[in-house]
């Protein structure tokens, strides 16, 4: 979790950036500003590895900032930011299609006078831009550039790379990051399970800091907890009893008392004082976030700070961060409902398929796959975790894992609620609720 800021306006000091405290909270360990040509590029670092790699980095007339994590196998001694620049020099804009990770990238080609900005497949790391007749600005959050330009920012679409010509201040190229294959030919869950364990392994093993998992009685966090247990990964859990399936939740909490996972927190529900404090934290220390069917601000239907789930997340991260200052990573179950759920009522206007058809082209991409609940709850997790200086990671949104789900036959997809997660937990005797979606789905209740 870091933050990025770039503008063609003249700035000489990090403190000249409007709403800079929001960016600093997301990247509290170091701020570095670079002025090159007519570009001011600033990077705010959250060091999850313990290393302090220089950003922005300039190499071969390329200046680059990067937020997130890459899971590609890098050459010996190569840094992520160095790898990005070298891949761009070899492949041009197509380099993003070969990246494996959760990222937002801002790359300035000095010779070509072009600015490349890109999100990952699902836009897990936020990125906004504003362009007017004179200037172009890009930021991890909307507020800094909206205050700079006094106009509304555009949130970058998931799965999209844009290239701007800086002299013309216009978009000259647009392309997708990932193209999914929609053939449904696999008749077993083995490859999905292998991809899921690999997704967890590359995100959560060998961490130098502590890991927090918000644990409910639902399928998403349950499968993640089960996988972490299989991999022997230490984590701290936090649960709200709320409206959860208490027998399931309690059975899970009993399992996280093993020596490798020494801490667990369970809370009944938030009081009005807790909610008031959480709302105040969100409004004071987190970037604004809103929910809606797409990324158009005119279509927003809810202010995220009014969401009980956002308040619950803010409260638990505040509490565990105070008890465990070394927490820097959060495992999120975001994406399970949006990708695998055949729950027709889970919607911002257009529900997931109630049943996955024989031809996925008939429904793909459904609204929640990239937008709707997906983009809404991702920006919630990123804003709230960023306000705490904690990096959100999303194993269920690993592009290889999602591809494995899409390859499953319709029979397997429709066999039960979130069938890959259900079969995974059943195989390893991990507690989970069985039944129809309407009776099983509870979410993270507080």
Q: Per CATH, is 3-176 categorized as 3.10.20.600?
A: no
Query: What are 73-114's pLDDT values in tens digits?
Result: 999 989 999 999 999 999 999 999 999 999 999 999 999 999
- Phi, psi at residue 400, to the nearest 5°? -70, -40
Query: What are 259-273's pLDDT values in tens digits?
Result: 545 567 777 778 999
Q: Which residue has the tokens 């904690």?
A: 390
Q: In sequence order, which residues have a C-beta less than 8 Å from that of residue 154 and are 6 or more positions away?
A: 128, 129, 130, 295
Instruction: State the average pLDDT for the chain.
Output: 93
Residues paired with 160 in a beta bridge: 176
Query: What are 318-344's pLDDT values in tens digits?
Result: 999 999 999 999 999 999 999 999 876
pLDDT value of position 133:
87
pLDDT value of position 264:
73
pLDDT value of position 97:
98
- Phi, psi at residue 20, to the nearest 5°? -65, -25
- Phi, psi at residue 295, to the nearest 5°? -95, 5
In terms of residues, how long is the chain? 446
Query: What are 182-204's pLDDT values in tens digits?
Result: 999 999 999 999 999 999 999 99
Taking the C-alpha atoms of residue 152 and residue 139, their distance in angstroms, rounded to an integer, is 13
- Phi, psi at residue 51, to the nearest 5°? -90, 160
Taking the C-alpha atoms of residue 236 and residue 30, their distance in angstroms, rounded to an integer, is 26
Who has greater pLDDT, 349 or 394? 394
**Buried b / exposed e across 378-415, counting CB within 10 Å, b at 16+?**
bbbbbbbbbbbbbbbbbbbbbbebbbbbbbbbeebbbe
Is pTM beyond 0.85? Reply is: yes
Q: Which among 319, 325, 326, 355 has a CA at the least distance from the CA of 437?
A: 355
Helical packing angle, 190-204 and 419-427, nearest 10°: 80
What is the domain partition of the chain in residue ranges? Answer: 3-176, 190-440
Taking the C-alpha atoms of residue 22 and residue 147, their distance in angstroms, rounded to an integer, is 13
Apex 240 CA angle, 338 and 373, nearest 5: 20
Provide the CATH topology of domain 190-440.
Answer: Rossmann fold (3.40.50)
pLDDT value of position 439:
61
pLDDT class of 445 with cuts at 50, 70, 90? low
Give kind and range of the element (H or E) at residue 106: strand 101-109
Taking the C-alpha atoms of residue 264 and residue 261, their distance in angstroms, rounded to an integer, is 8
Q: How does DSSP assign 43-88, residue by residue?
A: EEE--SSS----SSEEETTEEEEEEEEE-S-PPTT--HHHHHHHHH
Write the Ramachandran bin of 15: left for phi over 0, alpha for psi from -120 to 50, otherwise beta.
Answer: alpha
pLDDT value of position 257:
61
Evaluate whether 25 touches 183 at the Cβ level (below 8 Å). Answer: no
pLDDT value of position 440:
62
Query: What are 361-382's pLDDT values in tens digits?
Result: 999 999 999 999 999 999 999 9
Please give the share of the chain, as a percent, with pLDDT higher than 90: 83
- Phi, psi at residue 133, to the nearest 5°? -70, -20
Longest dimension (CA), the chain: 62
Please give the share of the chain, as a percent, with pLDDT higher than 70: 95
Averaged over 146-157, what is the pLDDT?
Answer: 96
286, with CB counted inside 10 A (0-12, 13-18, 19+), is buried
Cβ neighbours around 175 below 10 Å, total? 15
Whether pLDDT at 444 is above 80: no
pLDDT class of 242 with cuts at 50, 70, 90? confident
Taking the C-alpha atoms of residue 179 and residue 230, their distance in angstroms, rounded to an integer, is 31
Structure-block tokens of residue 406: 């899409």
Whether pLDDT at 241 is above 90: no
């Amino acid at each position: 979790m870091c933050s990025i800021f770039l503008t063609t306006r003249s700035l000489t000091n990090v403190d000249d950036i409007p709403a800079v405290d929001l960016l600093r909270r997301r990247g509290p360990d170091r701020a570095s500003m670079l002025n090159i040509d007519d570009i001011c590029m600033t990077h705010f670092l959250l060091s999850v590895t313990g290393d302090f790699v220089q950003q922005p980095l300039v190499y071969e007339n390329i200046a680059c900032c990067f937020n997130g994590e890459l899971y590609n196998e890098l050459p010996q001694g190569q840094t992520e930011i160095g790898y990005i620049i070298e891949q761009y020099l070899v492949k041009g804009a197509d380099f993003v299609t070969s990246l494996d990770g959760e990222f937002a990238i801002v790359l300035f080609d000095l010779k070509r006078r072009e600015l490349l900005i890109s999100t990952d497949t699902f836009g897990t790391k936020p990125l906004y831009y504003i362009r007017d007749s004179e200037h172009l600005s890009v930021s991890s959050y909307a507020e800094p550039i909206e205050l700079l330009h006094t106009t509304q920012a555009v949130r970058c679409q998931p799965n999209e790379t844009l290239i701007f010509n800086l002299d013309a201040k216009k978009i000259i190229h647009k392309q997708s990051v990932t193209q999914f294959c929609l053939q449904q030919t696999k008749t077993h869950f083995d490859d999905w399970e292998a991809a899921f364990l690999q997704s967890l392994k590359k995100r959560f093993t060998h961490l130098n800091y502590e890991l927090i998992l918000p644990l409910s009685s639902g399928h998403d966090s349950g499968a993640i907890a089960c996988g972490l247990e299989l991999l022997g990964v230490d984590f701290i859990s936090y649960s709200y009893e709320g409206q959860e399936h208490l027998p399931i939740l309690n059975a899970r909490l009993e399992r996280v008392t093993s020596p490798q996972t020494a801490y667990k927190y369970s809370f009944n529900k938030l009081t009005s004082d807790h909610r008031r404090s959480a709302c105040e934290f969100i409004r004071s220390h987190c970037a604004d976030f809103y929910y809606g069917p797409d990324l158009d601000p005119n279509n927003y239907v809810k202010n995220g700070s009014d969401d009980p789930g956002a308040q619950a997340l803010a409260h638990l991260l505040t509490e565990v961060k105070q008890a465990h200052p070394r927490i820097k990573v959060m495992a999120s179950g975001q994406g399970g409902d949006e990708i695998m759920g055949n729950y027709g009522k889970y919607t911002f206007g257009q529900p997931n398929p109630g049943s996955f058809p024989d031809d996925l082209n008939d429904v793909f991409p459904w609204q929640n796959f990239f937008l709707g609940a997906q983009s809404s709850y991702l920006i919630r997790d990123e804003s709230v975790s960023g306000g705490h200086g904690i990096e959100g990671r999303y194993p269920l949104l690993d592009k290889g894992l999602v591809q494995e789900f899409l390859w499953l036959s319709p029979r397997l997809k429709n066999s039960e609620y979130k069938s890959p997660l259900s079969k995974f937990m059943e195989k390893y005797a991990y507690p989970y609720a069985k039944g129809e979606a309407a009776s099983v789905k509870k979410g993270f209740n507080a």
